[in-house]
Amino acid sequence: MPADASQALPVVRVSRVAQVSRFLRVARLLLWTLWVIYRERRRVVRARQRGDTHVQPNVEALIAVLVGFRTTALQLGGLMIKLGQFLSARADLLPEQALAVLGSLQDEVPAAPYSHVASVIEAELGKPVDQLFTALDREATAAASFGQVHKGVLAATGQTVAVKVQRPGIDRLVRTDLSTMRFVIWVISRFVDTTDVIDLPGFYREVRRTTFEELDYVAEAANAERFRELFKDRPGVSIPRVCEGYVSRRVLVLEWVDGIKINDYAALEAAGVDRMAVARQTVEAYLYQFFEVGFFHADPHPGNIFVVPAERAAMAAPGTSEALELAGVSGAPADTEAGTAAAVTFVDFGMVGTLAPGTKQAFRDLFLGFLAGSAHAMVDSLQRLDFIGPGANVAAIERGVSLLLAQYRGITLGEARDLDFPKVASEIEALFYGQPFRLPATFAFTGKAIGTVAGVATGLAPELNLIDVAAPYARRFLGLDAAGAGQTAQQLLSQVLAGGRSLLTMPAALERVLAKLETGQIEIGLADGPPGGRRGRRGRSAGGPGAAGSSLSTAAMFAASIAGGALLLTQDLPAPGWFCLALAGVLGAAQVFRR
């Protein structure tokens, strides 16, 4: 904190005229962009409702509005750049050519002058820069929408560090832009129903929440420490340590990562790094974050992921070496069969996402449905996640998803990259435009994270097959181990997923069946009756050959179900095993109620 009043953070004064001008520019930018996107979507939807399936959105109009958005966003900075990055991940709303316009928005952000950086550091940490650091680069090593990073050396310890500094006055600009955004959403909601595309009020709340979290570097430091704890026992991933005593709301100092940018393929090759191993480590790290923890790094663009070869760990600063050793990379070089051992290192923890337990389970089921090639499981999960609105033709969506799975599920990332995207987009649009698909507000930035990780992994190892990487996680989710190694991952997943669905619906089904048995709406007869086919309730109760045969058949099925369930459980196949035991329960309950 500041040592005295003279060191208080300088106030960036913005005139009333400048505020009004910014409000008008932002409002016009948002209204025009959202209107053109909505207009093109509505035109295509209406055409296809008339049976004209060949109508496509006007790509030239979309590109023109997004070029204007990018130009203005770079001029205005702040929140507008974040919104542009969000739009760049909306493949369901924009064709590939339009998305490409916003793809490089992150790399075009200009850095603030060094004088501004120094003033913020001194105001926040309460000392002159030359007393805090023996060296501090005047040029930023990275610049983002809300802050930038400079390389420095701590005067107290001699440790090389990354100094993250917030842009002066950015919080004031962000508050102005959020107010403008709320006004624009209010205006749009008064005249247009966008609920079939995105919950705009919910999206605003999500943007507001993540924005203020990203502006608080104290919260970011806590996120970094949480990630260090989550990955401390997981080989191949490291998280930089926060430097205690150098954290404030607008300044954050962490140990320097002497790594290679994950998309610098030439440097990775020169260092002998196994690109396939790095791709697998990155994807596995996100599978772990999404499906096991429910807490994930939400901004995984290439500037936030580095690869640290083992030999660099030997020469790293003390804190870095320890972090890499915890990540499974020793201080001495260690070669694998395909290349040098390396740690994937994540930085910048301002934007994180959290999945509630119910959401995480539905997201996991969606993932398992994809791996098993089950359109039914995927559509069911999408409904639970609120991606599919009311009034949807679920059967038609399942048929469409089945076709997409059959055509694209087993391809490698490189094959996916080389697809004819206009053709693929046309196929997907035929599905999306015809049904009430929408983006839940809680997934506003999750999709961007998933798409970015997929892009990073594709660049590293185009031959990577996602199913091969994901199968071990699916096996762990479903309680499978080496006992099922003789079957393919898809066979195992398909069998267990089917059994799992039956098991999940079993309690409700049992309740309905038992209620009907109790009220006499269902009669179970497993033995042949007399020629007339009718038998009174008294005759059944009184026993006789038919009743005895029925009881024996039921008892045999009951015993077989018990035995089969026990056998399957001993073979480490829990879902089919419990299914058999549940069937035994149904038969036993039926026998009880028959009496």
SS3 at position 251:
strand
The Cα–Cα gap between 12 and 7 comes to: 14
Placement of tokens 């260090």 in the chain: 228
DSSP tag of 350: S
Beta bridge partners of 237: 344
Give 65: exposed, middle or buried? Use CB within 10 Å, 0-12, 13-18, 19+. Answer: buried
Q: Which of 92, 177, 199, 299 is labelled catalytic?
A: 299
**What are the tokens at 158?**
């001699």
Give the rounded distance of the alpha carbon of 225 from its chain centre: 21
Report the alpha-carbon distance of residue 201 to residue 206 in Å, rounded: 9
Q: What is the DSSP string of 436-477?
A: TB-B-GGGTTHHHHHHHHHHHHHHH-TT--HHHHHHHHHHHH
Nearest residue to 304 (alpha-carbon basis) of 350, 341, 248, 370? 350
Of 505, 590, 490, give the one whose Cα is nearest residue 550. 590
Measured between alpha carbons, how far is 228 from 349 in angstroms, rounded to an integer? 11
- Which residues are within 8 A (CB) of 283 and not within 5 positions of it... i.e. 6 or more apart? 453, 457, 464, 466, 469, 470
AA letter at 347: V
Is residue 299 annotated as a catalytic residue, yes or no?
Answer: yes
Instruction: Please state the φ and ψ torsions of residue 101, each to the nearest 5 degrees.
Output: -60, -35
Residue from 299, 141, 142, 319 nearest 238 by CA: 319
Active-site residues, by number, are 299
